[in-house]
Every structure is written in C-alpha cells, then in structure tokens.
Structure 1
C-alpha cells in the first residue's frame, strides 16, 4: 500500500475529510486515483491506456494531467481526455462530471454506465442519480459518497476497503 492510500484511509476513515480550499482539487485527483485502485474492473477495461474522461471545465483536469504524467495505473499509461458532452463520450475507464457541466447524469449513466466506466461527480445529490462516486463537501471537508448499485450496474465492484471509507448511498 503506498503512502497516498494510507493518507486517504486515515483522513476519510477518521471522518476528517480534507479542508475544502484551493488544495481540494489536488486531493480530488489523488483520491480519484486511489479509489480507482480499490475497484475491480471488467476484463474489457483492464488493458491499454487507463483513460479518464472529463465533461465540463474543472481545475481537477489540470491536476489529473499532472498526476498522470508521474504515475501509471497498474503499469498502464494514464490518459486524460475532455469530452464536450455525453454524445461525444468515447471509451474511458473513468468519467468525471464537473459540477459546471450541462450534461445530465442520467444520460451519462445510460451511455457509459453499463460499459465498465466508473462515473465520478462533484455535485450534491448526484450519487443517488447515476454517479457511482461523488465528491462532496461536508462540514468544510472533502468526502466521498459511493453508490454500490450503480457501480455494480457498470460491471465494476468496490472493494470492502472502499466501501468502508465512503458514505454509502443508494
């Protein structure tokens, strides 16, 4: 287990979260990476580049690009792609919906959610509307919500460790 994973486990499990400030975008990028390591991917998503698609404008994109240059996902290059909307989505392992996106979470879930794509969001309530994992600010802290049903519908499986770290919603 690497250092960032320990940090995430300690921070989230103690309910401390991460202070919601300018650094939160870096934490979101790091959490997204660590969370992806705690997911069992279907065979069709376990080879080639590890693609993180982004819909909407978000500073998380820059952090993910920086992060992707210095890391690999289980030996695979990390590639960041921007999509203009749900109709433009290509094959990706993770789809990140920025909070300013005009795309509908229901549309994204129907287009990408059953193809082995993990859908992340960062807007209140989206974990109950089609996103598998949602970043939220609670008590001034960055936390994660997990919808295990949508995750499983996508052909993905959350580890027990991930389930224990997240706020579970359905």
Structure 2
C-alpha cells in the first residue's frame, strides 16, 4: 500500500529539472522494502524510477525521494539536516517526522493509510506539491 502511495505522490510533485531518473532511497531497515523495490522500472513524469537501499552513514546525494525507516528514529534530526535545502522529498512513518521538518508522514486513521504533509519543508527544499495532493492530506503544515 505504501509503495502505491509513494508512486502516486511522485506524480504530484514538481521536481526540479535535473535528472533523467527518479531515485527512491530506502534509508534504514524497513519491512516494506520488497514492496518499495517493486517500483523499480515504473515511469514517473517521463522519468524511470529506481529503488535503492541505503544504510546509516551512506550518501543520499543521488536520491530524489528518501523514505526514512523507523529504525532511524534516533538519527532523524541528523538525516533531515543532511538533506536540508536539497530538492529531496522526505517520507516516513516516524510519529514526530513532520514536526521535525520531514515532508510526508504516513499515518493510520481507522485502519486506513493516510498522510500528513509539511508543505513549508517541501517549499524550502525547492519542491512544489500539487494542490490536489494537499487536499487529500489529513493535516498540512503550511508555514
């Protein structure tokens, strides 16, 4: 389910014109890795999506989307600081993710997967989020 959300999110983000591919980096240990890896080869806005695993300390330089696994909760501030100001969509399920400056947080609402968006963080990174996507969020931080 999360993989489908991430794939659809990527269609509603206004990416800077810098790469021919769109790389989703899964940072840390995630139970969802196999579902996310299924996105490899999908087309998004004319770009080929690839999925790579990254471990703590590895570079996130080539990433366009970084999914921060719950295993990285103790290091969340450092991860977000390393990506600050770069056009990288940050996504997680960590409860304090949006408040800490992350861009999209998955939440469970009545057994359904929903999401919160920190539009201010996305804007600061040079990413535009479609108003259509913002309307679907359960909460939006605008400034």
Q: TM-score, normalised by structure 2?
A: 0.89
Q: Is the 8 A contact 1:135 1:143 kept in 2?
A: yes
Structure 1 unaligned segments of length 5 or more: list them: 1-26
CA distance in 1, matches of 2:67, 2:52: 10
Of 37, 50, 71 in structure 1, the residue corresponding to residue 11 of structure 2 is: 37
Pick the structure with more helix per residue.
Answer: 1
Q: Secondary structure at the match of 1:106?
A: helix
1:114 deviates by: 1.4
1:153 deviates by: 1.1
CA distance in 1, matches of 2:128, 2:74: 25
User: Which residue does 2:132 correspond to in 1?
Assistant: 161
Runs of 4+ in 1 over 6 A off after TM superposition: none
User: Which residue does 2:38 correspond to in 1?
Assistant: 66
Superposition RMSD on alpha carbons, in Å?
1.7
User: Which residue does 2:88 correspond to in 1?
Assistant: 117
Alignment length (residue pairs): 141
1:75 deviates by: 2.7
**How far does the alpha carbon of each residue in 1:38-97 deviate from its partner, in whole angstroms, 9 at most, with x for none?**
1111223xx22210011111132211211324x212232211111112553222110000
Of 18, 22, 42 in structure 2, the residue corresponding to residue 50 of structure 1 is: 22
Bigger Cα displacement from structure 2, 54-63 vs 152-161:
54-63
Structure 2 unaligned segments of length 5 or more: list them: none
